[in-house]
A = this chain, B = another copy of it.
Amino acid sequence: MTNKTNRWMPDKKEIHSLKCLFEQELFENVVPFWAIHSPDNKHGGYYNCLGHDGRVYDTTKHVWLQARQVWMFSKLFNQHDAKPEWLEIAGLGIDFLQKYAVRDDKRLYFSLNEQGEPVWIQRKIFSECFYIIALAEYSRAAERPELLDEAREQFEIVWNWTKDLSQLGRPVLKGQTPSQSLAVPMILLNVIEEMTGGNPAGYEQEIEECIKQILLHVHEDKKTVFETVGKDGRFIDSIEGRALNPGHAIEAGWFLHQWAAHLNDSHLQQKAVNIIRWSHERGWDREYGGLFYFLDYKGYSPVQLEWFMKLWWPHNEAMIAHLLNYSVTGEQGDWELFKQVQEYAFSHFRDNKHGGWFGYLDRKGEVTHSFKGGPYKGFFHVPRSLWICCQLLDKLGD
């Protein structure tokens, strides 16, 4: 969006020292914590409920997190360093998932017990989506192309489910306002990214459809991204329709940045820039810092009990997103937003004593939950963010 000559630039030393900080945090703190504490070498898969010191406090294996951990270790193996132990950890997860998580009808369970027997199934598509990215990335790491084929087949099945989610057993009732959720096209777009490595060939129509669906949630006149909108994108004046999830919108923003780059689409790039800036502007807590988890567009009290809390993952997403914004705009303001989030995140979520990051803070920034892994927190947002930021800082420092 700007050429190299009129870009604002931070001090090269600052970029370099940030890159070192992110790299050190990733490879000396976060990766070792999960590599040591999570693998279950006896039953396969990973323990993902890990206390502050890495102790397993529940042996349930949550499929989202199993699959995301396979993906992340495969990614680091593929892009950073082909360490055999990382490939081995990834293999432990993919074997476990293939053996236990997939039903005959190609739906995946939400959670398994220690031995791999099913505990719960959701009426959603997310277990399946994370399984696809795990298959795709591990397929490249292990040089097993048949796993990429499996990923593509699973994607086709999931794509068809999204045409009518009632196929998954969710009740369709007369009083429901027809609506769509940002989560669905957003995750599908990311799944295509991970399957294809950003090459749109063969998925042009699906990519276009996902981007179109995501943009229905972006109301430019209101500078707002809604989690739930009508089928035609219209605003719904209800608890669900007014709900904002700034971290989620920011994540959607950086997914769009990826495709704007692949498709060389400057119009889409500008939209991604705006989505990230607007969502930060709305979501940042001016009093105590950090991004709120939920807000109500009209300023009513949100009903989610955790709305005021500061969760780790929106901050992870925002670091990537602002750094991508700065990379394309070269504007000082975007760099400063990145720094604002980075400083908040590193000073609040890190645990230098035992390794890993905390996940949950109260509004004022005090840690409320001491565990490092739980039913919805595994080896994913923290390392993905640290790794992507490492790469972006590396490019900026050239």
Contacts and interface: CB of A to CB of B under 8 A. Distances in A.
A298 to B, nearest CB: 8
A84 interface: no
A54 to B, nearest CB: 13
Contacts of A374: 303
A117 B301 contact: no
A176 B173 CA distance: 29
A194 interface: no
Given A118-B174, A175-B113, A175-B117, A58 B301 contact: no
Contact of A176 (B119, B239, B301): B119
A264 interface: no
A371 B173 contact: no
Given A119-B173, A308-B368, A239 B375 contact: yes
Nearest to A377: B303
Point out which of A115, A175, A302, A363 has the most chain B C-beta atoms below 10 A from its C-beta.
Answer: A175
Contact of A117 (B57, B174, B309, B363): B174
A369 B303 contact: yes
Point out which of A111, A119, A171, A375 has the most chain B C-beta atoms below 10 A from its C-beta.
Answer: A171
A281 B308 CA distance: 28
Contacts of A308: 362, 368
Interface in A55-69: 57-60
Contact of A300 (B51, B177, B307): B51
Contacts of A111: 175
How many copies, total? 2
A127 to B, nearest CB: 14
B375 A301 contact: no
Contacts of A59: 238
Contacts of A118: 173-175
A94 to B, nearest CB: 19
A238 B58 contact: yes
A306 interface: yes
A173 B301 contact: no
Nearest to A239: B58
B305 A175 contact: no
A120 B173 CA distance: 7
Nearest to A306: B305
Nearest to A58: B239
Contacts of A58: 238-239
Given A60-B238, A118-B174, A362-B363, A306 B303 contact: no
A52 interface: yes
Nearest to A122: B171
Contact of A371 (B51, B57, B116, B303): B303
A112 interface: yes
Nearest to A237: B58
Contact of A239 (B57, B112, B120, B239): B57
Given A117-B174, A121-B171, A301-B369, 11 more contacts: A51-B300, A57-B298, A60-B238, A109-B173, A115-B175, A117-B173, A119-B176, A239-B375, A303-B369, A306-B306, A362-B362
**Shortest beta-carbon contacts, A-B, top 4:** A117-B175, A113-B175, A305-B306, A118-B173
